Amino acid sequence: QSVLTQPPSASGTPGQRVTISCSGSSSNIGSSTVNWYQHLPGTAPKLLIFSDNQRPSGVPDRFSGSRSGTSASLAITGLQSVDETDYFCAAWDDSLNGVVFGGGTKLTVL
Amino acid sequence: EVQLVESGGGLVQPGGSLRLSCAVSGFTFSDHKMDWVRRAPGKGLEWVGRSRNKVNSYTTEYAASVKGRFTISRDDSKNSLYLQMNSLKTEDTAVYYCARVVKGGSYSNFDYWGQGTLVTVSS
């Protein structure tokens, strides 16, 4: 059971907009910025969004993030087949004194 | 070019030990905190622990699931990070990744990751 809660799955058709939520508590998302990772098993995870809403260079502006209170979300617009993989949110937890990840959301492009 | 290359994975029996290494290049290793993260088959990413740099007194942190069994160390002269895993359990089976913590960023901001090394704990 993950400290951060994400829906296990999400889906959309090409071109659609999808959002993935990440719910936490005052000891993690409520007091720390959120980062999002994209991970295809067998490859290196990739930083997608950092500091709630910043994109590393090379990440398309189709990806955006936000945080409010103890929740965060990742939005993907103009969905493409290459976006079909797993997405994870992460934050520092002051109570656990460590990084906590969401359980992951498997995105399917129909 | 920043590179992180893990090695040392393999098959080990329950109760056994294994030592993973992460060799880095392309950046000043001693400037950065470094973490280990794992992903078990069919599961999500799980943080294993952190090695802080000299400025932060080389302190370490561990997830509750591995505390007391795993030890993270580093050798700045060899640009290498290590994970000593003892008393291994079947639930430690996973691909283990080393990751660089962004300097000055949030504590969960990993900008570079290795390709991972597979650890299988089975009899």
Do B108 and A41 lie within an 8 Å CB cutoff? no
Tell whether the model's pLDDT for residue B109 goes beyond 80: yes
Give whole-number Cα distances, B109 to A15, A73, B35, B42, in Å: 29, 16, 10, 24
Confirm or reject contact between A32 and chain B (CB < 8 A). Answer: yes
Residue of B35, B45, B61 with shortest CB distance to A37: B45
Q: Are A109 and A79 a contacting pair, CB within 8 Å? A: yes
| CA-based nearest residue to A100, from A35, A17, A47 | A35
- What are the structure tokens assigned to B72, written together? 């993270």
pLDDT tens string A50-84:
999 999 999 999 999 999 999 999 999 999 999 99
Do A96 and B62 lie within an 8 Å CB cutoff? no
Mean pLDDT of A3-28: 97
pLDDT tens string B47-61:
999 999 988 888 999
Do A99 and B97 lie within an 8 Å CB cutoff? no
Q: What band does B104 get if pLDDT is binned at 50, 70 and 90?
A: confident
